[in-house]
């Protein structure tokens, strides 16, 4: 459900009038929290589990099969108009796509807020995930915790498939880990509680670009009638 508030009249803006493909859009809402050991309490962990019912997206939104993106992305119009998949991300908590606490130089992982992929003959890497396209615009989602920051985290986890995301479906993936002071520049042990909410918004037929003052929307996140894959462990 979208509640759209435009504060000014539309102005003429670049858009993708002739999409080569009809790309699928996946929204990824990421809630990531870190706690030093004294603050890693039951109460704080429960608070980190709460997802917002509504968000005011800064990366983009879909309405009536049209993807609305911030104007700054208009220079990627050709790339987006030929894509098979576009992922728009919304973040809560610390920024998980900057260098994570404890990551060594070769673990740095930067993922743009809006990312596109095409030619899904092989699985595509995206953060700690991989995606493989199936029939009917569904996608296999794989967790790859051996990559990036979680390669130095405890407990160790293997790369594995977690879900098949069909159009107009959603699922949440929960994971936690800890990093000792060896990897955190002398700081005490740090704990991380992460939730990733994937939502397949289906195919789009158009892309429009808006200035920030016209990106005033409120999007309802999926309710609790979606599958939750909870791979969190008891950490000490």
209 pLDDT exceeds 50?
Answer: yes
The pLDDT assigned to 87 comes to 97
The pLDDT assigned to 102 comes to 35
Model confidence at 72, pLDDT cuts 50, 70, 90, reads very high
Rounded to whole angstroms, what are the CA distances from 107 to 97, 127, 135, 151, 188? 12, 11, 33, 8, 20
150 pLDDT exceeds 70?
Answer: no
Q: What is the mean pLDDT of residues 41-68?
A: 90
109 pLDDT exceeds 50?
Answer: no
Cα–Cα distance, 139 to 164 (Å, whole number):
6
Model confidence at 62, pLDDT cuts 50, 70, 90, reads very high
Question: pTM of the entire structure?
Answer: 0.81
Q: What is the mean pLDDT of residues 22-28?
A: 95
Nearest alpha carbon to residue 111 among 149, 140, 74, 82? 149
> Which segment of 27-41, 66-80, 135-149, 176-190 scores lowest on mean pLDDT?
176-190
168 pLDDT exceeds 60?
Answer: yes
Model confidence at 106, pLDDT cuts 50, 70, 90, reads very low
Q: Looking up tokens 């900057």, which residue turns up?
A: 98
Instruction: Tell me what the pLDDT averaged over the chain comes to.
Output: 81
């Amino acid at each position: 459900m979208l509640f759209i508030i435009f504060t000014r009249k539309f102005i003429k803006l670049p858009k993708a009038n002739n999409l080569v493909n009809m790309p699928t859009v996946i929204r990824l809402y990421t809630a990531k929290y870190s706690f030093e050991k004294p603050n890693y309490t039951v109460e704080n962990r429960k608070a980190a589990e709460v997802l917002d019912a509504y968000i005011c997206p800064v990366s983009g939104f879909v309405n009536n099969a049209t993807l609305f993106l911030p104007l700054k992305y208009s220079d990627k119009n050709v790339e987006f108009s030929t894509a098979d998949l576009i992922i728009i991300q919304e973040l809560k908590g610390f920024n998980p796509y900057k260098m994570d606490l404890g990551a060594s130089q070769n673990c740095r992982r930067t993922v743009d807020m809006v990312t596109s992929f095409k030619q899904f003959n092989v699985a595509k890497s995206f953060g700690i995930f991989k995606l493989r396209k199936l029939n009917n615009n569904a996608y296999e989602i794989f967790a790859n915790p051996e990559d990036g920051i979680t390669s130095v985290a405890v407990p160790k986890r293997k790369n594995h498939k977690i879900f098949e995301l069909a159009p107009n479906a959603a699922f949440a993936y929960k994971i936690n880990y800890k990093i000792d002071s060896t990897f955190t520049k002398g700081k005490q042990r740090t704990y991380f509680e992460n939730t990733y909410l994937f939502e397949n918004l289906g195919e789009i037929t158009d892309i429009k670009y808006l200035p920030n003052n016209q990106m005033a929307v409120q999007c309802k996140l999926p309710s609790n009638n979606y599958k939750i894959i909870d791979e969190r462990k008891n950490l000490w």
